[in-house]
Structure 1
Amino acid sequence: NSLIVDLSTTRVLGLPLLVYVFALVVLIGWLVLNRTTFGRRTYAVGGNPEAARLAGIDVRKHTLMLYALSGLCCGIAAVLIMARTTTGSSTHGDLYELDAIAAVIIGGTLLSGGRGTIIGSILGLLIFTVITNLFILNGLNTADQLVAKGAIIVVAVLLQRRSLRSHT
């Protein structure tokens, strides 16, 4: 318990330790996606699983490894949220998936797969966080925020589709 509280209260060079944990996870993720065979295979599987299979990638095994990696990242996020709130609750992550989807779409990741970057997702996260903070500062209730976030996702997806059609 004390270790988790220390994680949220410790500051290094004026920044919370949580920021450094986040930066470390982003750096490792960037390295894995951009500098390893695993990352190239991930883009291949995401872009066209059948072509990836024909290229010799075990798509089922790779997808399973991606789900395991996703679970690991969810576990890290859960510990960080628990450290930040100093409580554990099964509802702490409610509706975070909507924010995560919106952030990565705004950051340029295709819902259809095969294209996206961690840096783009981080920029999308920052933009979406600013939008969410503006909603809160302007007193929008939760239901209106969810509708607005959903609308942002729909508009971003439509813009992606339009952009993809113009490039083909």
Structure 2
Amino acid sequence: MVHCSGYMSPEYAFYGQFSVKSDVYSFGVLIMEIITGKKNTSFLDSGNSEDLLSYAWKNWSDGTPLELSDQRLRDSYTANEVIRCIHIGLLCVQEDPADRPTMASIVLMLSSYSVTLSLPKKPAFFPHSGTGGNMPSIIVESEKSTSTTPCTPNEMSLSEIYPR
């Protein structure tokens, strides 16, 4: 079985919201990166016209989920294991955070084939880099502060980083 660990979600950067379901989303992206052998951020750079999640969803919908798998995985794991991991990954990246499983249920899904998986819904797609058109805007207005320090939606200050 392919075992994975999560990392911080780009959902926070794109939508200004962070939750337990953001960790689940990140975990799903990580599963897809492991299965494909490609990083989500470099997927478009490899000549693909779609982002990683769009590509995964298309293959899943077309009934060709094994097309996603890295050639190196094809010799190391059974097809059923890879397909189950793709299925779990797609459940983790569903557009509506309420539809995403909990980390506890993900652990159960990964460790037991007796757990029946629901059908995944459309994932939350990454905005294509450079377009900016799909990225939501976050406008923060604070009546309490007269400071010029930019703040996030949760009132934490932002640091501007300049290259050396």
- If the length of structure 2 is used for normalisation, what is the TM-score? 0.25
Which gives a bigger RCO, structure 1 or 2 (Cα 8 Å, sep 6+)? Answer: 2
Higher relative helix content: 1
